[in-house]
Structure 1
Amino acid sequence: MLISRPWMVALSFIVIAVLLWRLSRIGRRPSSYPPGPPTLPLIGNLHQIPSVNPHLQFQKWAETYGPVYTLMLGTKVAVVLSSDSAVKDLLDKRSAIYSGRPEMYMAQNIMSGGLRSLFMGNTPRWRAVRKLAHGVLNISVSRSYVPYQDLESKALLTGLLENPNDFFNHIRRYTTSLTTQMTFGYRTPTSDDPNLLEINTPIYYSFLNTFIAQTAVLLDFYPILRRLPEIFFPVIKRGRAYHEREKRLFMKHLMNARRQLRSGTAKPCCCIDLLQAQKEEGFSDEVACYLSGSLLQAGSETTAAILIGFFQAMLVFPEVAKAAQTEVDRVCGDRIPDLNDFPDMPYIRACMKESLRWMPATALGVPHAVAEDDTYLGYHIPKGAGVLLNVWGIQNDPHRHPDPRKYDPGRWAQDNQNSAQAAVNPDATKRDHFVFGAGRRLCQGIHIADRSLFLAMARTLWAFDLMRAIDPKSGKEIIPNVDNIQEGMFICPAPFAANIKPRNQERAMAVKNAWESMKGLLDDEMQWKKVPEGLKWRDYEPED
């Protein structure tokens, strides 16, 4: 026994030395990885990611370390793609191995019960859900949603006419009511509608606050901490409570859609299509309610942020608004624009593209993950690494877009692609924006967003002058601060003042008359009596 003690002591030292060596490697960047900012032991680059405007720091790193760089985040690796060619080469051309998601313990396992398709890895379940999403969002099916877009854009005009100072809420109601109809088959008629408040306030912001909590970050980047008793991490209890509330909300709307389907009163919506597909595919109610609920959350907030950015741009760059109004007047005269005018309004389409570029709601996207070791530009990309699409950095690259913080629709003068066509253009330099992702994770409702943006922009500029507010003390115009951005899962301009007025009395009356004619299609609760089968409009979108 005495003889064996030296060996035991030596073995203990070896074990401790190995553990210390392994700990010392955490947070370090191997020389074979793409370059990146200097790291610290154990934490890597975590301490360098700011809590305010992180997208600006990611842009600076791209300027310093190039279009592909690496961040070491505790035990995890994040490869950041900051050029259109890198996105095309990896997320598009190598999508077979770049379509996964990094493990998101809090966001997916705890707060979503593993059911949120946005955060699912490239698994059989995700591929099945993706197939279902395509079935309810493809171009042919989504044409049945055009009456919703026509109705809600006219409701938006009415709100701007009656209470122009509340334009933030009018925009959010517009996008939320569109998505509640397309997802669950009901409208949110007013900004204080209970269904609107139920969706946007307790659920969304609880998710946001929990998701970004520092303890949640620790659990994501240091998995060993998950073995500790949960009493050390109250955020886990909050996350589970959030999941239960959210699931009840989504399930409530799914069950309502099921009752309407059985009674024959159902309106065209994703839920109805999912319930019909459920009979053949046999997936659970939980999968169905989370797929429809995820579509609701993603579609509403992204489009709202883009439109708020558009309103802000019209105030900061009034010459753009004037040019756009000249085109709308030339094409439409005294009638309200509709989707038939899409091919004839290249400047409005350019405003859509520039809005998506100038104020992208998804500044850093949702990270992909690589399924196996890979090599790119001579660098090693390790299996399991997160892959971030630096949307802000690409869309504000002065080499790609000179003077990038200038809102200039002229950039798109010769670009007649819609967002879906641009996203799959084999020439990476011809892609207009990256707001809706890339590769197999490309948003499948991209064409729906294009239509919603076009109607809102064209009709607002036809009916109203968007002017700067006047400071009551100085008497000078108030120019919104474009750098004042609200942060969260999506970025959006912080609240700003505007002076929104009808361009003339004739157009104000046209807005009132248009809404009165639409009200005839609604019941006393401002829900559809019967949705029109469709609106006649040019077949400007390819079916493929």
Structure 2
Amino acid sequence: MDSIRVLVLYLAVPSLLFSVLRQIISWRKKGDGLTKPIPGPQQFPIVGRVHDLDRFCMWKKFKEWADIYGPIYRTSMLGQQFIIISDVKIAEELLVKRGHIYSGRPQIRALFDHKTGPGYVALMDRHEIWTRQRKWVHAAMAEFHRHHFFGVIENEVKRYLAVLLLDPAKFHANTREHCGRIMSRLAWDDASIGKENGDSADCTLTQMSVSGPIVNTMTPLWVIPWNWNPWKKYERAREDKQRAWWLESFQVAKNRFLRGELPTDTWSNRYFTGLQKQGNLDLEQNPQEEEFASCMLGFQNLVGVVTMSGPMLFFLMAMLLHPEWQKKAQEEIDRVCGDRVPSSSDSADLPVVRACLKEAVRWRSGVPLGVPHQAEKDDEFRGEKISKGTIILACEWSMNRVPEQYPDPENFHPERYLEKGWPTYQEPLSQYPNFREGVGMHTFGWGRRTCLGQHIVDDEMLVSMAAVLWGFNLNRKISPKTGEVIDFDSEATNAHVILEPLPYPCEFQPRSAQKVEQILSGYVGARDTLRV
């Protein structure tokens, strides 16, 4: 143990001296009068302003600073420069209009080689591998959305409703598994690995997050030699296991395709069909190409889990805490759908449900810090210098709380999308609000790094959550000891870069005996195709 401490000291001291030198140079440059510094909190030697940031809810401090220093300010952490934005127009100016400068990704220390690929397209720098993967995923998502994902979501919802009926206490884990099953079914035609998919997604997000391994904030620790470095050993084992799983799933799907057994409504079938159209009838590829494809499909499968389960769980929480809106949404569902479970074809007729979904994502941001961009070269903004390597954070939590855009921002107001006079109101209500277009779309990122999953979010959120409200009343749980409603913290989360709320108490009460019968018979009818 003493040897590790000595080693850390030897590694940390040069890093700290380098940070001091860089800070002194920075101060001298500021003093030359050529550039005007962007405002921000007071910086301290070496640490910058890391000492009073809570890495488990950093977005709240950023919002506090935005209220003091304005919609764009600067800070630093252990020598790394940051620009924090809480204004949509400024974010558009930098991250969209100047996307050729601000579309890099910063190094996440606890991950190996994510900037070079091919493992995580959302975390790569912009290069040939990133371009190929992003282009393919974008086209595949758009094509499947045109067909509303071939009924896969509706089919899996039959199982999800039955699970909520039979085991309501585990709704938190079962919601994540539901999202994992949909993505695994679309990727490989294997929904049975939905739980493994969800667990793998959660583990990956832990590694990506500031709240995860300490090396993501205390980066000098990463250079500790392998024999004494638990973070490198853990990540090597985790990534190797994940890559092996993706490659095995890819090869199983390829063999099924060659036997004519792989359904056409899968992304892997689309990929293999594309190879054959290029003349590769036997699907023969070298190891590098197989790794490229298995990672592309694997990450597409993985990234759609927690990005969906978090917002769903926040939506259920919103309905639980706001029974008046739960009732309004149920009345709309009953009027439109009657005795049948809602489907994606009902979207135009369910504006109240869509408004509740959109407001839940605003009220409890799933990506409160935003996914960071990095300046790929020096730039100037409004006469002020932004150096290459600066990390740009479009802070979603702050943007969702700008009162001019979202009056009474701390409270849940779906009517902001339904009633004229609210800044976010858009017509026609048969189209707006949604997760693909219109106001308030910054949840999905900016410019060349915009999330490619908007289409599936639109369908999966609507179908899954409308189905829950069709089948169940969500009630606050009562303490058997005190007879009082059990309170919980609606902002308690796992603190990852993409959030899920921590488990909270919720009672799922079937709305009628008839709906119980419909839920069970629907599940029985679909069970053979679900691969449970």
Query: Under TM normalisation by the shorter chain, which class is it?
Result: 0.7 to 0.9
Rounded to whole Å, the distance in 2 between the matches of 1:365 and 1:79 is: 12
Structure 1 residue 64 corresponds to structure 2 residue 60: no
Tell me which moved more, 195-204 or 119-128: 195-204
Tell me which moved more, 294-303 or 280-289: 280-289
- 2:243 is matched with which residue? 247
- 1:437 is matched with which residue? 445
Tell me which moved more, 271-280 or 238-247: 271-280
* C-alpha contact 1:26 1:75 (8 A) present in aligned 2: no
* C-alpha contact 1:337 1:459 (8 A) present in aligned 2: yes
Question: Residues 114 and 336 (structure 1 numbering): CA distance in 2 closer, same or farther, change over 3 Å?
Answer: closer
Question: Residues 367 and 334 (structure 1 numbering): CA distance in 2 closer, same or farther, change over 3 Å?
Answer: same
For 2:103, what is the secondary structure of its paired residue?
coil
For 1:313, what is the secondary structure of its paired residue?
helix
* C-alpha contact 1:101 1:119 (8 A) present in aligned 2: yes
Amino acid at match of 2:176: R
* C-alpha contact 1:463 1:503 (8 A) present in aligned 2: yes
Q: How does 1:361-380 map to 2 (within 5 A)?
A: 361-380=366-385
Amino acid at match of 1:180: S
Identity across aligned pairs (percent)?
26
* C-alpha contact 2:367 2:497 (8 A) present in aligned 1: yes
- Offset, 1:229: 3.7
- Stretches of structure 2 that go unaligned for 5 or more consecutive residues are 1-16, 419-424, 427-431
- Aligned CA RMSD, in angstroms, stands at 2.7
- 2:421 is matched with which residue? none
For 1:375, what is the secondary structure of its paired residue?
strand
Q: 1:421 aligns with which of 424, 434, 437?
A: 437
For 2:342, what is the secondary structure of its paired residue?
coil
Deviations 1:486-524 (A, max 9, x none): 2123222211111111111122222223223323545xx
Deviations 1:309-359 (A, max 9, x none): 011111111111011111112222222222221101110110111111112
* C-alpha contact 2:355 2:417 (8 A) present in aligned 1: yes
- 2:416 is matched with which residue? 411
- Offset, 1:386: 1.3
- 1:137 is matched with which residue? 141
- 1:397 is matched with which residue? 402
Q: 2:462 aligns with which of 436, 449, 454?
A: 454
For 2:437, what is the secondary structure of its paired residue?
helix
Q: How does 1:24-173 map to 2 (within 5 A)?
A: 24-25=23-24, 30=30, 32-109=36-113, 115-140=119-144, 143=147, 145-173=149-177
Rounded to whole Å, the distance in 2 between the matches of 1:167 and 1:20 is: 47
Rounded to whole Å, the distance in 1 between the matches of 2:191 and 2:335 is: 33
Structure 1 residue 339 corresponds to structure 2 residue 337: no
* C-alpha contact 1:27 1:73 (8 A) present in aligned 2: no
- Offset, 1:47: 2.1
Question: Residues 27 and 172 (structure 1 numbering): CA distance in 2 closer, same or farther, change over 3 Å?
Answer: farther
Rounded to whole Å, the distance in 2 between the matches of 1:246 and 1:106 is: 15
Rounded to whole Å, the distance in 1 between the matches of 2:500 and 2:506 is: 16
- 1:201 is matched with which residue? 199
Structure 1 residue 477 corresponds to structure 2 residue 485: yes
Question: Residues 395 and 21 (structure 1 numbering): CA distance in 2 closer, same or farther, change over 3 Å?
Answer: closer
* C-alpha contact 2:329 2:353 (8 A) present in aligned 1: yes
Question: Residues 342 and 185 (structure 1 numbering): CA distance in 2 closer, same or farther, change over 3 Å?
Answer: same
- Offset, 1:114: 5.6
Rounded to whole Å, the distance in 2 between the matches of 1:412 and 1:455 is: 19
TM-score, structure 2 normalization: 0.85
* C-alpha contact 1:359 1:492 (8 A) present in aligned 2: no
Tell me which moved more, 455-464 or 378-387: 378-387
- Offset, 1:22: 2.5
- Offset, 1:210: 7.7
- Offset, 1:266: 0.8
For 1:421, what is the secondary structure of its paired residue?
coil
Tell me which moved more, 312-321 or 141-150: 141-150
Tell me which moved more, 472-481 or 52-61: 472-481
Rounded to whole Å, the distance in 1 between the matches of 2:436 and 2:21 is: 46
Rounded to whole Å, the distance in 2 between the matches of 1:334 and 1:492 is: 32
Structure 1 residue 213 corresponds to structure 2 residue 213: yes
* C-alpha contact 2:117 2:130 (8 A) present in aligned 1: no
For 1:95, what is the secondary structure of its paired residue?
coil
Amino acid at match of 1:519: R
* C-alpha contact 1:149 1:452 (8 A) present in aligned 2: yes
Rounded to whole Å, the distance in 2 between the matches of 1:262 and 1:476 is: 60
* C-alpha contact 2:175 2:313 (8 A) present in aligned 1: yes
- Offset, 1:21: 7.2
* C-alpha contact 2:366 2:498 (8 A) present in aligned 1: yes
Question: Residues 168 and 274 (structure 1 numbering): CA distance in 2 closer, same or farther, change over 3 Å?
Answer: same
- Offset, 1:111: 10
* C-alpha contact 2:144 2:150 (8 A) present in aligned 1: no
- 1:237 is matched with which residue? 233
Question: Residues 367 and 63 (structure 1 numbering): CA distance in 2 closer, same or farther, change over 3 Å?
Answer: same
Rounded to whole Å, the distance in 1 between the matches of 2:346 and 2:83 is: 42
TM-score, structure 1 normalization: 0.83
- 1:22 is matched with which residue? 21
- 1:287 is matched with which residue? 292
Amino acid at match of 1:381: I
Question: Residues 87 and 206 (structure 1 numbering): CA distance in 2 closer, same or farther, change over 3 Å?
Answer: closer
* C-alpha contact 1:251 1:289 (8 A) present in aligned 2: yes
Amino acid at match of 2:266: C
* C-alpha contact 1:351 1:409 (8 A) present in aligned 2: yes
- 2:519 is matched with which residue? 511
Structure 1 residue 264 corresponds to structure 2 residue 260: yes
Question: Residues 476 and 452 (structure 1 numbering): CA distance in 2 closer, same or farther, change over 3 Å?
Answer: same
Structure 1 residue 491 corresponds to structure 2 residue 499: yes
Rounded to whole Å, the distance in 2 between the matches of 1:20 and 1:75 is: 5
- Offset, 1:150: 0.6
- Offset, 1:204: 3.6
Q: 2:186 aligns with which of 170, 182, 185?
A: 182
For 1:388, what is the secondary structure of its paired residue?
strand
Rounded to whole Å, the distance in 1 between the matches of 2:399 and 2:376 is: 24
